[in-house]
Structure 1
Amino acid sequence: MTMTVNTQLRWREKISYGIADMGFNFYWTNVATFLLIFYTDVFGISAAAAASMMFTIKIINAFTDPMIGGLADRTNTRWGKFRPYLIWVPLPLACAAFLTYTTPDLSEDGKIVWAYGTYLAMMVCYTGINIPYNALSGVLSPDPQERSIVNGLRFIFAFAGGTIVTAATPSLVHWLGGGNDKLGWQLTMLVWSGFASVLFVFTFLNTRERVAPPPEQKTNVWQDIHDLSQNRPWVALFFLALIIMITITLRTSSAAYYFKYVVNRPDLMAAFLPAYMLAAAAGASLTPVMTRFVDKKKLMIILMSITAVLSSAFFFVPRDQIWLMFALQIGMGLALGPKSPLAFSMYADTADYNEWRTGRRATAMTFAAATFSQKLGTAIAVAVIGWLFTQLGYVANAAQNAGSQAGIVWLMSFIPAFFALIAVAVMFMYDLDNNKLLQIQKDLEARKS
């Protein structure tokens, strides 16, 4: 591992790195929160077909992640390995997103084919810029605490972006569409794509890569994958990411249905998810402080345990107790907010561990295989929702039967709580504590010297 002597980053660079994740959430939050209900209630695809399509595309896209990670690790330009993707990919991503939210007048089968093609194109382009961006956090500095700060800032911007999207998207759709939801969704995604592209370019211009693989390193993609499979801390994070994404996606994708069909107040969505995002941003901002006093592994176990308790409590909330719904949602935001910066700083730590153990470094592959598990988790969550809705007789834009309403409530409470408890169990596999990381950094620096 090569590095500059000064591992402390200026705040300008930290903020410049983090702000790009606001742009990513202009895409990601739209997909996670609104795409399923867009397909069922606007484009006119059945819940089963839409969920099946999204599951299939997530699986396909998950397998493209290691390929893009391997490509990024082997990219060499005068701007570095990962930064160039921030200016190469934004335009293709914007075009693919615009087409995904376009609703041509087609037959039922034609709509499904269109959805498959455009959604796959958008997710592959998203991966093509997001994985190099993730890897960039691992090469800005070799200092684990600096990585925690960088990722903490990153997810403050991410949650801010999610807050803006969930709060503004319904109004933008109505305003830009003038009552035509199909046109409104298309133009709204064009607006978000434009803002995101500007942020990506800003990050490219104001960051620098400082950590590189050993100059003599010569490996192939299969060697990188084999190294990761033998990296126990990374394996633990792989399953952790999968399970946490199931937990989060179940709740975010079900929330629109919950307020539309259970509470009968769809207007509350404009405040419910932003309340979570703001709380999560507050939680993320506290991450660097908490990691100074609590080991990352212990902190993750505590946070996921709290999430399980609060999610279970949601089952018992009466439909007219809006304040209690928001209180629990804010509590879960505070608990889950530190999860993302924790996990991504831990991924960078496992890249150091891999180099320490094998003498080889594959930063982008480390993050790519991690996003593989996140997408797989999202796919599983969407499949669970689609399967449950089909079994319980969900009918779009109609009053739901008692079974369908009960299923929606379970998707907001006990089911994600169950997965949160599994995440707690998985964290006991992770064995990189602060003392071991300090020794790894000392050993790597000694090798360089």
Structure 2
Amino acid sequence: MNTTSEVLPVREKIGYSLGDLAANLIFQTLVTFLAFFYTDVYRIPAATAATIIFVVGLLGAFVFTPVVGILADRTRSRWGKFRPWILWTAIPFGVLSLLAFSTPELGERGKVTYALVTYTLLMLVYAANNLPYAALSGVLTGNMAQRNSLSSYRFVAVMIAQFVIQVLLLPLVLILGDGDRVQGFHNAMMLFAVVGTVFFLITFFTTRERVVPTAEQGSSIGQDLRDLARNRPWLVMLALTVLVFVTLALKGGMYVYYFQYYLSEPALAAFLDGIGFNRAIAGLNAALTGVGLTEFRWPQDAPTSAFSLFNAGGIVFMIVGIGFSRRLADRFGKRDVFGGALLVSTLFMLAFYLYPPDAIGLVFASQILHGFFYGITIPLLWAMIADVADYSEWRNNRRATAIIFSAMLCGLKVGLSVGGALVAGILAHYGYDAALQAQSPATVGGIRLAISLYCSLPFLAGVALLFLYEINKPLETRIERELAARRAGQPA
């Protein structure tokens, strides 16, 4: 393998990270708002929406992802192996993102068919874009320090996209649609589609593949699969990945209903006024109009404003938690820090069940504390998967990094599909009716259970699974030392 110690220019790091920002504008929208869009905007029955999200998600995990991985590994072009896929999918990604969130009047059966076809095509193009994009980071440079730096730029881009979607999307929908959510979603997605397409093209033109692999070490696909089947840490991490993303999709998709139908609107309005949020928006608008600019049209309804602020608090404190992650893991080991932080973050999710509709301050405090402790786990999940690749090489004298990571991506998609389908499925089970201004007590109770108990169960199962994960701090150190000696041709 041809590796290089060349320092990546900042321009290339930014250019690469813009690709993840573009992808996450759509990915975060799907995770957080797809069920809401289908049920409340496009008016598809909740049970039908659950089926679409679940079936297409599994198709993406078990068909689209492995097929694209096989094809991308065998791509040969003057631009390299992975960059061409970003170029080829840039425009289709933008077009399908817009189509998937459009609302043509086609009748009940036609709507379901339209949603199924557009979501399936979007998932196909997403796989064709995202897998090669992820692989590209491994061939821009062979220098590990530069790869770590590149990952930092990429993570910042992901958090920006998450902030835009979870904090600003609903306000943008109301603003761009002038109160009409249907038109607002269409206009917002058109904006994201254009920005995303441009960012993908920037990624293509600003990056260069420098690491050219030679023939792989001698092992067949069958041998790699047998190694995986005997790799208990890999099995644990696969199950853990599924469980984590089930919860992320479930709570991400259900919070909007919690604010809309469970929390007291007068209490939300009083909370926003009491913390000075409304005064801050008024002051901002006064400053804008004072210099001749148009005022910032923040939505007036309290649930939308509070929901956006709620997400903002969680994201900010996730970033704070991430800042503590590396130092804690260096001292105590990834496994123990991940399990402890995941358990504490789950306790703050469970607390939501105890809060009455007017306990807005407690709701926000729990979200902030949950975000902080969950933030500690965010970088550790993928670092632990990399440790599993080292563990496999240490045990089998064969490295199968790609197949380990691609399998984990399948687990991620399965988790998101199950969690997204659970949002619509739970709503259907408890009798949710999007046409009603106020839901029945049974429906509201189901929403309350979903964002507390049901969201907590996968996290708690993940904590229990970690007792079977044998790569603790001492074994981490041993694997690193012995692999280094083995690669240097010395006795371990």
TM-score by length of 1: 0.89
Identity %: 33
Is the CA contact (8 Å cut-off) linking 2:426 and 2:450 kept in structure 1? Answer: no
Read off the aligned partner of 1:411 and give its amino acid letter: A
Matched ranges for 1:306-321 at <5 A: 306-321=344-359
Residue 62 of structure 1, CA deviation? 0.9
Q: Which moved more, 1:401-410 or 1:388-397?
A: 388-397
Q: Which residue of 2 aligns with 1:86?
A: 86
Cα distance in 1 for partners of 2:10, 2:481 equals 24
Q: Which residue of 2 aligns with 1:171?
A: 171
Read off the aligned partner of 2:450 and give its amino acid letter: L
The answer to whether structure 1 residue 418 and structure 2 residue 457 are counterparts is yes
SS of 1:84 mapped into structure 2: helix
Is the CA contact (8 Å cut-off) linking 2:4 and 2:143 kept in structure 1? Answer: no
Output one character per residue of 1:134-168: Cα deviation in whole Å (capped at 9) or x when no partner: 33445556677766665454333212211112222
Read off the aligned partner of 2:97 and give its amino acid letter: A
Q: Which residue of 1 aligns with 2:131?
A: 131
Cα distance in 2 for partners of 1:147, 1:20 equals 16
Matched ranges for 1:22-171 at <5 A: 22-63=21-62, 64-139=64-139, 150-171=150-171
Structure 1 unmatched runs, 5+: none
SS of 2:468 mapped into structure 1: coil
Cα distance in 1 for partners of 2:481, 2:173 equals 50
SS of 1:412 mapped into structure 2: helix
Output one character per residue of 1:224-266: Cα deviation in whole Å (capped at 9) or x when no partner: 5444334333322211110001111111111000000001442
Flag the 1:131–1:188 CA change in 2: closer, same or farther, 3 A.
same
Cα distance in 1 for partners of 2:418, 2:148 equals 29
Residue 203 of structure 1, CA deviation? 3.6
The answer to whether structure 1 residue 293 and structure 2 residue 292 are counterparts is no
Output one character per residue of 1:52-76: Cα deviation in whole Å (capped at 9) or x when no partner: 1111111111112122222223334
Residue 354 of structure 1, CA deviation? 4.2
Q: Which moved more, 1:206-215 or 1:196-205?
A: 206-215
- Tell me which of the two structures has the higher relative contact order, counting C-alpha pairs closer than 8 angstroms and 6 or more residues apart: 1
Cα distance in 1 for partners of 2:478, 2:209 equals 26
Read off the aligned partner of 2:245 and give its amino acid letter: M
SS of 2:83 mapped into structure 1: coil
Q: Which moved more, 1:110-119 or 1:315-324?
A: 315-324
SS of 1:428 mapped into structure 2: helix
Residue 205 of structure 1, CA deviation? 4.3
The answer to whether structure 1 residue 379 and structure 2 residue 422 are counterparts is no
Flag the 1:341–1:206 CA change in 2: closer, same or farther, 3 A.
farther
Residue 385 of structure 1, CA deviation? 2.8
Output one character per residue of 1:202-221: Cα deviation in whole Å (capped at 9) or x when no partner: 44445555666552547665
Q: Which residue of 2 aligns with 1:187?
A: 187
Flag the 1:235–1:441 CA change in 2: closer, same or farther, 3 A.
farther
Among 482, 486, 490, the alignment partner of 1:439 is: 482
Output one character per residue of 1:341-361: Cα deviation in whole Å (capped at 9) or x when no partner: 222233344344445555655
Q: Which moved more, 1:348-357 or 1:328-337?
A: 348-357
Cα distance in 2 for partners of 1:50, 1:356 equals 45
Residue 94 of structure 1, CA deviation? 0.9
Q: Which residue of 2 aligns with 1:236?
A: 236
Q: Which moved more, 1:342-351 or 1:356-365?
A: 356-365
Is the CA contact (8 Å cut-off) linking 1:233 and 1:350 kept in structure 2? Answer: yes
The answer to whether structure 1 residue 275 and structure 2 residue 275 are counterparts is no
State the number of aligned residues. 446
Read off the aligned partner of 1:429 and give its amino acid letter: L
Is the CA contact (8 Å cut-off) linking 1:156 and 1:282 kept in structure 2? Answer: no
Flag the 1:137–1:178 CA change in 2: closer, same or farther, 3 A.
same
Among 360, 363, 367, the alignment partner of 1:329 is: 367
SS of 2:439 mapped into structure 1: coil
Is the CA contact (8 Å cut-off) linking 2:3 and 2:212 kept in structure 1? Answer: no
Among 304, 312, 327, the alignment partner of 2:342 is: 304
Read off the aligned partner of 1:256 and give its amino acid letter: V
Flag the 1:77–1:279 CA change in 2: closer, same or farther, 3 A.
farther
Q: Which moved more, 1:5-14 or 1:323-332?
A: 5-14
Is the CA contact (8 Å cut-off) linking 2:86 and 2:200 kept in structure 1? Answer: yes
Residue 78 of structure 1, CA deviation? 4.7
Output one character per residue of 1:373-412: Cα deviation in whole Å (capped at 9) or x when no partner: 1111122223333332222211114211222111111111
| Alpha-carbon RMSD | 2.9
Flag the 1:336–1:27 CA change in 2: closer, same or farther, 3 A.
same
Flag the 1:140–1:86 CA change in 2: closer, same or farther, 3 A.
same
SS of 1:178 mapped into structure 2: coil
Q: Which moved more, 1:211-220 or 1:404-413?
A: 211-220
Flag the 1:13–1:309 CA change in 2: closer, same or farther, 3 A.
farther
Flag the 1:166–1:53 CA change in 2: closer, same or farther, 3 A.
same
Flag the 1:118–1:32 CA change in 2: closer, same or farther, 3 A.
same
Cα distance in 1 for partners of 2:243, 2:149 equals 24
Residue 17 of structure 1, CA deviation? 4.0
TM-score by length of 2: 0.81
Cα distance in 2 for partners of 1:324, 1:145 equals 42
SS of 1:57 mapped into structure 2: helix
Cα distance in 1 for partners of 2:248, 2:405 equals 19
Structure 2 unmatched runs, 5+: 266-302
